[in-house]
């Protein structure tokens, strides 16, 4: 089946952080219908980043952003730490989380992660970057401690060397 069979010709999917959190993630968590089925559910921690493009519902070879829904995987059954390891490596958080606002209200956060090949702490940094989104409020606007789904956009990037 063609990946574009569900969208009209010329369609481009490039949502803002606010749209990702306030429309797609909020609806997914609430089990509400999303108007256009362009984001696939995957288990990101069983898939290497270089194998994700073939699983993407929309995109082309020259598009460098892929969007997926995925459950958080816990490192320990009773703990709160997230397991971000795959067979070939692990995702490591970098920088500070970015707040996402809608109409001057905090609605979510975006965490940036980099993929390292191998095992911590000796992994080799790769050129794969992931943005992980989380909802910070529930439907009543009060803080939400944790949610089952993450919204992720994957961006393979180029390594630039300056000499």
Whether 4 is in a domain gets the answer no
Q: Furthest-apart CA pair in the chain: how many Å?
A: 53
Please give the share of the chain, as a percent, with pLDDT higher than 70: 71
Q: What is the mean pLDDT of residues 116-139?
A: 86
**Rounded distance, CA 136 to CA 21, Å?**
9
CA end-to-end distance (rounded Å), the chain = 45
Q: Which residues contact 83 (CB under 8 A, 6 or more apart)?
A: 45, 73, 74, 75
Could you report the per-residue pLDDT of 95-124, keeping only the tens digit for each? Answer: 999 999 999 999 988 888 899 999 988 999
Whether 6 is in a domain gets the answer no
Could you report the per-residue pLDDT of 57-86, keeping only the tens digit for each? Answer: 665 555 677 888 887 776 777 767 777 889
Whether 5 is in a domain gets the answer no
Whether 112 is in a domain gets the answer yes
Domain that holds residue 30: 13-156
pLDDT value of residue 143: 46
Structure tokens, 76:
């320990």
Which DSSP category does 10 fall into? T
Whether 36 is in a domain gets the answer yes
Please tell me which residue, 82 or 48, carries the higher pLDDT value: 48
Whether 19 is in a domain gets the answer yes
> How many separate domains does the chain show?
1
Q: What is the CATH number of the domain that holds 68?
A: 2.170.150.80
Whether 7 is in a domain gets the answer no
Whether 125 is in a domain gets the answer yes
């Amino acid at each position: 089946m063609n990946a574009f069979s569900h969208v009209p010709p010329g369609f481009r999917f490039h949502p803002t952080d606010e749209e990702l959190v306030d429309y797609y993630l909020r609806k997914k968590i609430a089990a509400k219908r999303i108007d256009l089925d362009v984001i696939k559910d995957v288990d990101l921690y069983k898939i290497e980043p270089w194998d994700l493009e073939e699983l993407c519902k929309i995109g082309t070879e020259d598009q460098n952003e892929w969007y997926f829904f995925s459950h958080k995987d816990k490192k320990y059954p009773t703990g709160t730490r997230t397991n971000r390891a795959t067979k070939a490596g692990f995702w490591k958080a970098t920088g500070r989380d970015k707040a996402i606002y809608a109409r001057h209200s905090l609605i979510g956060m975006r965490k940036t992660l980099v993929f390292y090949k191998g095992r911590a702490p000796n992994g080799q940094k790769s050129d794969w970057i992931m943005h992980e989104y989380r909802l910070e409020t529930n439907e009543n606007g009060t803080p939400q401690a944790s949610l089952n789904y993450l919204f992720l956009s994957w961006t393979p990037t180029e390594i630039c060397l300056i000499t």
